[in-house]
Structure 1
Amino acid sequence: MGSTIRAPQTPAPAPAASRERARGALLGLAVGDALGAPAENLKPSEIRARWGRITGYVTDRPAGTDDTEYAIFSGLLLARHGHALTPALVEAAWHEFIADRAEGPFHGAGFSERGTLENLRRGLAAPISAQHRHAWSDGLAMRAAPFGVFAAGRPAEAARLVAIDGSVSHEGEGIHGGRAVAAGVAAAMAGAPPVAVVAAALAVVPDDSWTARSLRRATAAAHRGERAVRSAVVIGGYPWTDLAPEAVALAFGAYAAADGDFREAVLTAVNMGRDADTTAAVAGALAGATQGLSAIPDEWATAIGPARGSCLPSMAGRHVLDVADLLVSASTGLHRPEAPVRREALPVPDRSAYALSAGEEEPQP
């Protein structure tokens, strides 16, 4: 049963503020993903043994993983359909751009995504396609930030939309995790302080859910630092690190411990290990929406180029900044795709609005 509490409705920001925060949220997601990827599935002690404390990229060619590429996919789908998004439209896009294509590399694809693809290829439709062994994973939470960007200042609407997206791939706690992230980003997009961002996340999930309990424990422990946050929610000895209640709580705990500061939020999430790419991606999205694009260190931001398509080949060449701009345009009614367009088609970014970063290539439709 869903929560009967309504998320606080904060006023939508002006378009200029929306663009700065939108870019901060989605680039923050990609940066957190790239920073956290090398630490994925590691314990803090293992991280320290390899790198000491991670304070920046530890690979020569940092890039987003499946977290970034699925967020781009969902963001483009949302920019096309907006508030009219339906499970049928989401399912059609999964078929068109993922499931019905020749098997790609899918490097790093999560268990929930692979389970969904297997079900879709067997002809199962939503919500049956979400009935697999990992429907509780953080695979929806990792792609939830675009919904908060689109529904800036409207946490309940962000939560409604991301649940529609998630109906194809997730159930139960997996949906709750996505709703919490989308609502939190929506609140942050409107300038809410971290305490209100956490409240917005809690307001859209059932009070007695595992997700809500973990969120409350993590944020209550946040003032005592990352070790306390980790101890509050991590299930020691459990082999899977992609549990949505755990990963989402770690991300919000890192964000709360840093009081919304981008650098500290992301590094706290990274150094806690577990599903570090996802926890840092979510923390980065929350802090990026809170502080805006300018809060992301230049040396981190400039390393993020267009998606490589290592997990989703159909997303190769797309950049999170393009997606952020499309979502802002769609949310303010400025984006009107030219007709005729097949309902499954994803919008092609218009990159003329800003200069390309050094070494960046034009995305392919």
Structure 2
Amino acid sequence: MSAAATAVWGRAEQQDFRARVRGALLGGAIGDALGAGVADLGLDDIRTAHGPDGVGDFVSVYGRRGAVTAATQMTLFTVDGLIRAQVRRDTGAWHPPTDVHRAYLRWLATQRDWGPDERRKDNGWLAREEWLYSRRDPSRDCLTGLGDETMGTLESPKNPTARDAGALVRSAPFGLLVGWEPQLVCQLAVECAAQTHGHPTAYLSAGAFAVIVHGLARGESLDASVQRALAQLAARPGHQPVTDALRQALGAVRQGIPGPSRVAALGEGRHAEDALAIAVYCALVGEDIRHGLRLAINHSGPSHTTGTLCGSLLGALHGETALPPAWLAEVEGRGTLLELADDFAMEMTQGPALHGPAISAPGWLARYPRA
């Protein structure tokens, strides 16, 4: 977002934007945590363990209730990378995919190191959060795609056959760049997804998801946001599976009472486009956030994936105050999520007051170093 764009933010608009940013990040984390405890279970096994209605609350996983997976970890580092890109723009170095890639390399260090490297002063504050130093079932393709410092691109993507949702689940923050045009949001999400997931349906699903979140963060309806994503996909090679999945999700809304059978008809969610379709459908038909999230996690696919996506959509749509307080109170990393969400909102609305040719806030640059 340019300085010209930030100058038009009024107080009410800033408050609404911050609520939607918080909603998207916290909602995604809640959906992730709800699904994490049943991610490897089929629907029959979920019902056997949790009753005929399935799971409806956090269950213990990774040694605690409310624990999140690598989906939330990587989403946090996506936000960190986007803030760093804005800060580094002052130096004349403006290439957000590079800054996001560097952020993902900082995430990768949390998967292999025992704790923060205090010698790395350019890591910023997020990489010093000790609770993030825990491996939470990351996608194998995320690990291999970031296994060296060479950045995957659309021309030379990493893991060209990878079409799971490992890149999709970390892509909500691109949609929170509300000062950008939808086509630029889509392009950035696609380029950053190709850093680990090179199959067209994987990176185009990430682009479509970012555009949907973008519409919601701007105050549009979910249906209108999906239509905008479909329009963005139309000109991109390889879009048809993603387009078909989204159209199937829209059509399923009119096919009867929502339930697991409707979700199952959209796929298991193991491919990115199917996971996106399930999340969109559940967000569209959910009577409220609880209902939508329960629908998104009670199926035979990767429940943490579809829960993360659906939670991000509902959080961006309704804002943080609509999220169930009991889940908010218990979700892992809530303090970090809130702190990062507020930093993102402040950077995007008031960045020129924090850094620029004539202004330099030392505390901000210590949090988000330009190096």
For the aligned pair, the TM-score class normalised by the smaller chain equals 0.7 to 0.9
Q: Distance in 1 between matches of 2:330 and 2:322?
A: 15
Between 1:146-155 and 1:18-27, the stretch displaced more is: 146-155
Q: Of the two, which has the highest radius of gyration?
A: 2
Corresponding residue for residue 54 of structure 1? 55
3-state SS of the aligned residue for 1:182? helix
Corresponding residue for 1:87? 97
Residues 146 and 195, structure 2, Cα contact 8 Å, conserved in 1: no
Cα deviation digits, residues 194-251 of structure 1 (max 9, x gap): 211221332222475211111111221134313343233216xxxxx53101111111
Moved more, 270-279 or 87-96: 87-96
1:1-365 correspondence to structure 2 within 5 Å: 14-52=13-51, 53-59=54-60, 60-82=64-86, 84-98=94-108, 102=112, 106-118=135-147, 120=148, 124-127=150-153, 130-132=157-159, 135-151=162-178, 154-171=181-198, 172-206=200-234, 208-223=239-254, 224=256, 225-234=258-267, 241-258=269-286, 261-306=288-333, 319-334=336-351, 336=354, 338=360, 347=368
Give the CA deviation at 1:23: 0.8
> For the structure 1 residues 87 and 167, does the alpha-carbon distance in structure 2 shift closer, same or farther, using more than 3 Å as the test?
farther
Residue 141 to residue 340, structure 1, CA distance change in 2 (3 Å): same
In structure 2, relative to structure 1, the CA distance for the partners of 1:153 and 1:294 (3 Å cut) is farther
CA-to-aligned-CA distance 1:173-210 (integer Å, 9 cap, x gap): 11111111111111111221221122133222247521
Report the Cα distance in structure 2 between the residues aligned to 1:327 and 1:333, rounded to whole angstroms. 10
Q: Deviations over 1:270-295 (max 9, x none)?
A: 11241111111110111111111111
Q: In structure 1, what is the Cα distance between the partners aligned to 2:297 and 2:327?
A: 14
Which residue type is aligned with residue 41 of structure 1? D
Distance 1:100 1:305 in 2: 16
Superposition deviation, residue 340 in structure 1: 8.3
Contact 2:168 2:206 in 1 (8 A): yes
Report the count of equivalent residues: 318
- Superposition deviation, residue 142 in structure 1: 0.6
Instruction: Report if the CA contact (8 A) 2:162-2:197 is conserved.
Output: yes
Equivalent pair of 1:305/1:319 in contact (CA under 8 Å): no
CA–CA distance in 2 between the matches of 1:155 and 1:340?
33
1:267 Cα deviation after fit = 1.0
Question: 5+ unaligned residues in a row in structure 2: which ranges?
Answer: 1-8, 115-133
**Structure 1 residues 155, 46: closer, same or farther in 2, change over 3 A?**
farther
RMSD over equivalenced CA pairs, Å = 3.1
Question: In the aligned structure 2, how far is the partner of 1:47 from the partner of 1:40?
Answer: 10
Q: Distance in 1 between matches of 2:212 and 2:204?
A: 12
- 1:351 aligns to what? none
Shift of 1:330: 2.1
Task: Tell me how far 1:106 sits from its aligned partner.
Answer: 2.7
Q: Say which SS state the counterpart of residue 132 (structure 1) adopts.
A: coil
Residues 58 and 98 from structure 1, CA distance in 2 versus in 1: closer, same or farther, beyond 3 angstroms? closer
Sequence identity (%): 26
CA distance in 2, matches of 1:274, 1:102: 27
Which region of structure 1 is more displaced relative to structure 2, 182-191 or 28-37?
Answer: 182-191
Q: Secondary structure at the match of 1:39?
A: coil
SS across alignment from 2:315: helix
Cα contact 1:217–1:232 (8 A) shared by 2: no
User: Alpha-carbon deviation of 1:98?
Assistant: 2.2
Q: TM-score, normalised by structure 1?
A: 0.77
* 1:118-167: CA deviation from partner (whole Å, max 9, x where unpaired): 3x2xx644228743265322112111111112326843332222223223
Give the secondary-structure state (helix, strand or coil) at the position aligned to 1:332: helix
Q: Is the 8 A contact 2:37 2:59 kept in 1?
A: yes
TM normalised by structure 2 equals 0.76
Segment of structure 1 superposing worse, 330-339 or 194-203 = 330-339
Taking the aligned partners of 1:46 and 1:18, their CA distance within structure 2 comes to 40
Q: Distance in 1 between matches of 2:265 and 2:293?
A: 18
CA contact (8 A) 1:136 1:174 kept: yes
